[in-house]
Chains A and B, each alone.
Chain A
Amino acid sequence: MNPASDQNPMAMKIPFYALFALLIPLAHAQQPVAPDVLVKSITEEVVAILKKDKDIQAGDTKKAADLIETKVVPHFNFVRMTRIAMGRNWRLASPEQQKILADEFKTLLVRTYSTAISNYREQQIEYKPLRAKPEDTEVTVRSDVRPSGSSQPVSIDYEMEKTPDGWKVYDVKVGGVSLVTTYRDTFAGEVREHGVDGLIKSLTAKNRQPERSKAGKA
């Protein structure tokens, strides 16, 4: 039935139908970017900036953190990352505490990542073929990174989930070491000894410490 042929009040609805018709192809276009394509394009974009940016190369971690905030953070699910790191203790935290925890954990990871990328060296990245079915909502994007001058590649794997807002990373494994679960025992220990607030306090304190620059004593 063609609503446009009606010469009655139904005609009022024409713009609505028209809009709807417009949305259909748009919805199709909204089909999220494939997870491996997403990882690859973000990595390429960030690496291109790193290669050019003399400040970050010289150890400007603040600038590195800004870069990560704008380019990388939107593609991560920090709430889920925090939930994994908290394990069973996640349920002990109130919704407000959960929000603070996720924010502080995000800050810590961003700062860590900024330290890592300020050490950036020339490297070759090889992406492995994605082993996933089209209907999968959780996939692992695998890559091998070989820094120039090193014979042994390091694997970097991204654990990703499909959300209405596109694919999001919820864990990164470097050489098989999970960025998230490595915190589990530390978090559990803090909660056991000082409660959820104690964990929040030590995360906040850690995040207030000055950034460690390349030359920093460690």
Chain B
Amino acid sequence: MARAKRLCAALLLAGTLGGCATSGGNPADPLEPFNRVMFRFNDAVDGAVAKPVAKGYRSVVPGFLRTGISNFFSNLEDVWISVNDVLQGKFQQGLEDFTRVFFNSTFGIAGVFDFASDVGLQKHNEDFGQTLGWWGVGSGAYLVLPILGPSTVRDGFGFLVDTQADPVWRVGNVPARNTAVGVRFIARRAELLDATSVVEQAALDKYSFVRDAWMQRRRNLIYDGDPPREREEPDDEPSK
């Protein structure tokens, strides 16, 4: 809950700062000055703590075990994913994801093996932010959250709801809960190590690159991989 409070405080702070901030050009990012500060902060924390730990995790823990750990958390996630499927009226997909949980929790030994994927039940990507998007709630301003990184006002709120429904956060024993949250965070960071090295190479301005990639990614997820086409080459006349 303390985490949720902190998040609220950050959202509030973002709102106030946004009021007096000058926009940097992207209409989806009126909070850019605040976001850039937070982005730099996150980057520093990532470079000092999360990334080195994730690298250590990747070099020490053998691949099959890392896959097992990731699968375990992914299976817990599937429960809430199937709820979001239903909230978005995707009943068939909801049934599939529920079946995934059933198969993986039993034959997959508490989710350590992703047995369901092997029999053709593909994992889906849903969360409450996407559900809100599916209902027609606009994304709101782009928002870089402390530690969590790129988000939007809508998805930040969605994340709060996701956290309430997250079984890992509901573990009664506090040290066990914190360990589980920490391991999951590092396991996810480790999965992204290759991707972040590509972003480092690709980006001229990492902040705007990550923002624009993130916004496209969320849009793609809300439309389940098939968003309406946007015009790729805008008007030919110069902007000035």
Contact = CB atoms under 8 A, between A and B. Distances in A.
A149 interface: yes
A99 interface: no
Majority secondary structure of chain B interface residues (helix, strand, loop or mixed): helix
B207 to A, nearest CB: 9
Contacts of A83: 233
A84 B212 contact: no
In this complex, the interface size class of chain A, counting residues with CB under 8 Å from chain B, is 35 or more
B197 A119 contact: yes
A111 B236 CA distance: 29
Interface of A: 83-84, 87-92, 108, 111-112, 115-116, 119, 149-153, 155, 159, 171, 175-178, 180-186, 188-190, 192, 202-203, 206, 211-212, 214, 216-218
22 contacts: A88-B237, A89-B238, A91-B236, A92-B239, A92-B240, A116-B194, A119-B198, A149-B66, A151-B70, A155-B225, A177-B220, A183-B209, A186-B203, A186-B209, A189-B205, A202-B204, A212-B197, A212-B200, A212-B201, A216-B197, A217-B47, A218-B51
Interface of B: 24-26, 47, 51, 63-64, 66-67, 70-71, 74, 114, 117, 122-123, 125, 191, 194, 196-198, 200-205, 208-209, 211-213, 216-217, 219-221, 225, 227, 232-240
Given A91-B237, A92-B240, A159-B232, 15 more contacts: A87-B233, A88-B237, A91-B236, A119-B194, A150-B67, A151-B114, A151-B123, A177-B217, A178-B216, A181-B212, A182-B209, A182-B216, A186-B203, A189-B25, A203-B204
